[in-house]
Each structure stands twice: as C-alpha cells, then as structure tokens.
Amino acid sequence: MKKKYFKPNPNDPAPLTATATRLVRFEEVDPLGIVWHGRYPSYFEDARVRLFEKFDIAYLTLYGKGLVTPIKQLYVDYLLPLRFEDEVTIEALMHFSEAARINIEYIIRNAAGEVATTGYSVQMMMDRNDNMLITAPPFYQDFIEKWRNGGLA
Amino acid sequence: MKKKYFKPNPNDPAPLTATATRLVRFEEVDPLGIVWHGRYPSYFEDARVRLFEKFDIAYLTLYGKGLVTPIKQLYVDYLLPLRFEDEVTIEALMHFSEAARINIEYIIRNAAGEVATTGYSVQMMMDRNDNMLITAPPFYQDFIEKWRNGGLA
Amino acid sequence: MKKKYFKPNPNDPAPLTATATRLVRFEEVDPLGIVWHGRYPSYFEDARVRLFEKFDIAYLTLYGKGLVTPIKQLYVDYLLPLRFEDEVTIEALMHFSEAARINIEYIIRNAAGEVATTGYSVQMMMDRNDNMLITAPPFYQDFIEKWRNGGLA
Amino acid sequence: MKKKYFKPNPNDPAPLTATATRLVRFEEVDPLGIVWHGRYPSYFEDARVRLFEKFDIAYLTLYGKGLVTPIKQLYVDYLLPLRFEDEVTIEALMHFSEAARINIEYIIRNAAGEVATTGYSVQMMMDRNDNMLITAPPFYQDFIEKWRNGGLA
C-alpha cells in the first residue's frame, strides 16, 4: 500500500528509473544505532545522480546548457530503520511532466528487500542568472518529447 | 501566504515555540554557492532540540522515562537560498496534539528577516523495545494537559 | 617519494591491505569546486572498515569481545584535489605492531592512478569501561602472532 | 605538557588567536555515544573562520584579492571524547610565518575547561589559476609586517 506522491495522467509514459546501492557507514549511525534521519537526502541524491547520468541530463550537462534545477520541495517517509553495514538499494523514479519541473520519487529497500524509506523531490528550472523558467528550454522539451514517444525506454 | 502544514482545532492552545541561530558554514555550501538542500534537517534539528529543552522534554529526558520519538515524516520547502556566512534564525513551532505523536513546523529566516525555508516533521512514540505506542505515556499526557491549560505559556 | 608515516622493524611482516572505491558526491564538493578537506576522514574510514572486515577484526566483532579501538591520532596530506564524480580508490595499509595500538596508513588515488591524498591514523585499545589497555587482549595477540607467522597473507 | 606543533623563532611575535563556541549536535555523535572522529575538521574550521575574520583575512576577502589558501596538512590528537550537548570552546592560534603558508594550531576544551582535542593545519597559497605561490603576495606581506611590528595585537 504505497503512497502516491505524484498523480500521473492516463496517457503519461512510464517513469524513468535508476538504482544506486550503498552500504551504511558508521558515521551515519546515531547514538540510537540507526541512520540519523537527516542523512536520507544524501541517499536519495545517489539515485537521482545515477538517473540523471543514465538519461544524459546530468547536473554538469544541464549547467553547460544554461540550466540549473534547484530542489524546491523534499519529503521523506521513514518506515523501517537502517543500521551500520546495511546494504541498501535506492531507486529513483522520475515521473513524467511537461512543466518546467522535475518530479522524482524515491524508494529505499534494505538487504531483505523490504521498503525502508520512501519520499520525493520537486526541482524547478532556472537559468544561470537565477531567473525561474516558466517553460522548459527547447533542448529539454526535446527530451520530454522523446520520453513521451518511447524514445527513452 | 504561509502554507498550513498542520490544521489546528479551534480550541487548541497555541504552538510551543523556540528559536535557534546559526551561521552558515563553508562546508555546508555546494559548488553553486548555496547551502546544499540536504543540510536543512540539521538546521531544523537545532531549533527542535532547543524547543525540547525549553519545555523539559529533551531526548535524554524522554529516553530516561522509556520513551523514544523517531522522526517518521520530514518535509522541506526551499524558498530562498542561503549562502556562506549568512546568519539565520530557525524557529520551531510544536503544534498541539493529543495523539502519541509530535508535530513540529519550522521557519528559517535569513538576516534580512525573509522566510528562506519552511517545513515540518512528524515524530511517533515508541518504547525502548521498538514498540509503537498508540497513546502517549502518562507523564507525557500530563505534559499535554498542562499545555492545554495554559501551564506552558 | 612517499612519506614514511610508520617505521617498520626489519623483521616485521608486510602490512595488511584492503581497498575501497568511492565516487565523489555533489554534497562533498565545496564552493571552490573541490572536495572539502574535512571529508577525508570519511574516505579513510571506508578503506579501514573494509580492511577490518577482511581480516575479521570488524568494529562489532571486537566490541563483542570487549574491545573498543578509538582513534587517537589522525593525519592527512592533501596532494591533489578531488572533484565531483571523480572515481577514487582508497587503500588502507595496516602496519605491524605488537603494542596495544592499530597503525594504519592511507593512500587515495584518482581515476588516473595519481596519488591525491595520503595520511594515517593511530588507534588505541580500551575495554568497554573506557580503561586504556597497556597490552592487547589474548585474542588480539593471537591475531598478531598469526600475522607475524604469515597466516594472514 | 602540550605538544609543540610549530617551533617559533625567538623573535617571532605572539600567535594571533580567536575562539569559537559550539554545542555538540545529536547528528555528530556515533553509536558509541561520542563525537565521531571525522567531525573535528569542522570544529577546527569554526575557530579558523573566526580568526580570519577577526584579522581581516577572511576567505572571501583573500579570494577577492586573487589568493586561495587550500589546506595541505591536517593533524588531530584526540585526548578526551566529546558527547551530545557538550558545550565546547575551540581556540585557533595562528603561528607567525614569513613563508607563503598559514600555520594554525587548535585547542578544543570541554565545559570543564579540560583540553579534549588538539591539532594543527597548514595552508599553502595559490593564485586563482591553481599556481602555487613561492612568496606571499604584497598585500599579505604587509599583513606579516604589521603582525611583526605589533600592529595586530
């Protein structure tokens, strides 16, 4: 019974996905023996960075084209704790959107495959002079079209 | 036009509040020159810890009484960026609840007094054997009663 | 022309070694575009943890036998900067010692194989009541003997 | 019996000093209940940043004059552990040097005034194109002269 963070339209193409793995570090664990809640944005970012690379929209690539995509919203649901040396997988699912924003859902699973954490982030688009963009730039609209037409599957 | 993260009942007592200040560190700033989005849980925690101390429900105090209050939900709205050496104030507002949970709203303001970041956290109550509590323990219900009756103002 | 952090005796067995790999994260990079100097203890720890596991003296294993090994000295030489997305290897070399201490040297290499960072750590031995040990406990002396006799190679 | 990290010449002026205070955060404490050893570079930096501001050689000021001063060596001696909510003071002592380098010693004291941690850092001087400087730039030599002549006391 997973929460729906984003509500797709019936004709939207499937989310783009990528997965990262990570071993819980000693330094990430708090005095109660579990990963401190504030470390999870780092876990999410590992999968987001892999996803952006996989689909050729990495931070530096976008920056080279004049586009910056700061995070405007972040949400985390903590379901099961993670502990030292736990091997986790982090899945990022980028949901389709035609707007000048990037909507990503995250699912962290522990070594037993149980869902330990879920969440989402919303990124806006800005040019390098900190102006918010109302519509995505042309090269990104091409990316959206390709996605809609199954060219990224 | 501030978002309402929690919806109070008409007769609820006012939130309990506390404020922390903090100077943005070099290490917190990313290559784009702004505080990396994943540092904000630490900012929120500074104010939450002050609030819990102020009202005598500090982590160690609760732990000594057999109560652990892990964070189950965390949300952040990024409105304005923070930069190196910015002096910020972080306000924590604990909203009234009779349930076995702790609902806190956060407001970060920059040196100019502008709201830079808002968000909230939800904490559940567990005993030290990781059993979720359905109702708050007696000492905490006393705390709630005192709050309702104006004894914490 | 590598620095000698530890001076072996002529008959000491070779160091025990292990290697970890790591991809530089966005959050680790400072406004100057390089990994902030204070992140390197985390890099060193990745290789130290792998080494301790490889030779069956992991933190939790030692703790289970009543032994705690806090770090008492840490040193870092910064030779070349690391940048976002750099893929690095971290080598830990545990130097032979009969004393109640653990001496480890670290070598971080960038993707081109150049030495980017070196350093060392010294750990003391304590029991779980925070008493410093003058000599290593029996099970650890067995470990030292095995090492001396080539049983760990 | 404090270690001498730097050996002054007989006629050197006294070190320049500054102090920062800090409250140990929950997130900084490891599963053993003490501040994780890798957090101390952040503690040192708090005092170093205050010192640089106090004597008008802040990072951004130097950068504006074309000077970058990356850390090339860092050393830490861990004497006593720090725990959650400990209030510590961090003293930075910049030792006199005519060379194109910045030598700083650090002393962390706990609330009881006991020395908990000491260490040092060495920074080199570079221009903004990553060229190592053999001699300090003219404005910094003026700073050294002023220091030698008692103008910074």
The interface predicted TM-score (ipTM) is 0.95
Q: In this complex, do B41 and A45 lie within 8 Å of one another by their Cβ atoms?
A: no
Q: Report the C-alpha gap between A77 and B73 in whole angstroms.
A: 5
CATH number for the segment(s) B16-148: 3.10.129.10
Report which residue type is found at B50: R
Q: What pLDDT score was predicted for residue C2?
A: 64
Which of chain B's residues have a Cβ under 8 Å away from the Cβ of D85?
60
Mention the CATH class of domain C16-143: alpha beta
**Who's near B109: CB < 8 A, 6+ residues apart?**
B88, B89, B91, B115, B116
**A125 CA to chain C: closest CA distance, Å?**
18
Under 8 Å between Cβ of C50 and C16: no
**Who's near B149: CB < 8 A, 6+ residues apart?**
none
- Homologous superfamily, domain A16-146: Hotdog Thioesterase (3.10.129.10)
Which of chain D's residues have a Cβ under 8 Å away from the Cβ of A83?
none
Which of chain A's residues have a Cβ under 8 Å away from the Cβ of B77?
72-73
Q: What pLDDT score was predicted for residue D2?
A: 63
**Who's near D38: CB < 8 A, 6+ residues apart?**
A27, C38, C41, C42, C45
Mean pLDDT throughout D12-37?
96
Q: In this complex, do C38 and D41 lie within 8 Å of one another by their Cβ atoms?
A: yes
Which residue of D lies nearest to C81 if distances are taken between CA atoms?
A: D70
Is residue C153 predicted with pLDDT exceeding 90?
no
Q: Hey, where are the domains in chain A?
A: 16-146
C-alpha distances in angstroms, D82 versus C95, C120, D26, D104, D114? 28, 22, 11, 22, 11
- Name the nearest CA neighbour of D90 among D143, D35, D144, D8: D35
The subunits that touch chain B, with at least 3 C-beta pairs less than 8 Å apart, are A, C, D
Q: In this complex, do A33 and D31 lie within 8 Å of one another by their Cβ atoms?
A: yes
Q: Report the C-alpha gap between D40 and A91 in whole angstroms.
A: 33
Q: Report the C-alpha gap between C92 and C17 in whole angstroms.
A: 5
Which of chain B's residues have a Cβ under 8 Å away from the Cβ of A32?
68, 70
Is residue D1 predicted with pLDDT exceeding 50?
no
DSSP D96: P
Q: What is the mean pLDDT of chain D?
A: 95
A-B C-beta contacts closer than 8 Å: 52
Q: Which candidate from D37, D41, D45 shows the least CB-CB separation from C71?
A: D37
Which of chain C's residues have a Cβ under 8 Å away from the Cβ of B84?
31
Q: In this complex, do A73 and B73 lie within 8 Å of one another by their Cβ atoms?
A: no
Under 8 Å between Cβ of B92 and B104: yes
pLDDT tens sequence across D102-142: 999 999 999 999 999 999 999 999 999 989 999 999 999 99
pLDDT tens sequence across A47-102: 999 999 999 999 889 999 999 999 999 999 999 999 999 999 999 999 999 999 99
Q: What pLDDT score was predicted for residue A2?
A: 64
> DSSP states of D46-75 as a string?
HHHHHHHHHTT--HHHHHHTTEE--EEEEE
Q: Report the C-alpha gap between A32 and B130 in whole angstroms.
A: 11
Mean pLDDT throughout A139-149?
96
Q: Report the C-alpha gap between C63 and C59 in whole angstroms.
A: 6
Which of chain C's residues have a Cβ under 8 Å away from the Cβ of A68?
none
Q: Which candidate from A25, A27, A59 shows the least CB-CB separation from C26?
A: A59
Which of chain C's residues have a Cβ under 8 Å away from the Cβ of A26?
45, 49, 59
Q: What is the mean pLDDT of chain C?
A: 95
Tell me how crowded residue B150 is: count the other CB atoms within 10 A of its CB: 9
Under 8 Å between Cβ of B105 and B95: yes
Q: Report the C-alpha gap between D43 and D76 in whole angstroms.
A: 11
**D123 CA to chain C: closest CA distance, Å?**
10
Mean pLDDT throughout D37-43?
98
Give the rounded distance of the alpha carbon of C79 from its chain centre. 18
Q: What pLDDT score was predicted for residue B15?
A: 97
Give the rounded distance of the alpha carbon of D149 from its chain centre. 22
- Structural tokens at position C40: 């390197």
Q: In this complex, do B30 and C26 lie within 8 Å of one another by their Cβ atoms?
A: yes
Q: In this complex, do C30 and B31 lie within 8 Å of one another by their Cβ atoms?
A: yes
- Structural tokens at position B14: 């006012």
Confidence band of A1 (pLDDT split at 50, 70, 90): very low
C-alpha distances in angstroms, A78 versus B99, C111, D12, D34, D90? 19, 36, 57, 25, 35
Which residue of C lies nearest to B39 if distances are taken between CA atoms?
A: C27
Q: In this complex, do D29 and A30 lie within 8 Å of one another by their Cβ atoms?
A: yes
Low-confidence ranges of chain B (pLDDT < 50): 1
Q: Report the C-alpha gap between C84 and B46 in whole angstroms.
A: 29
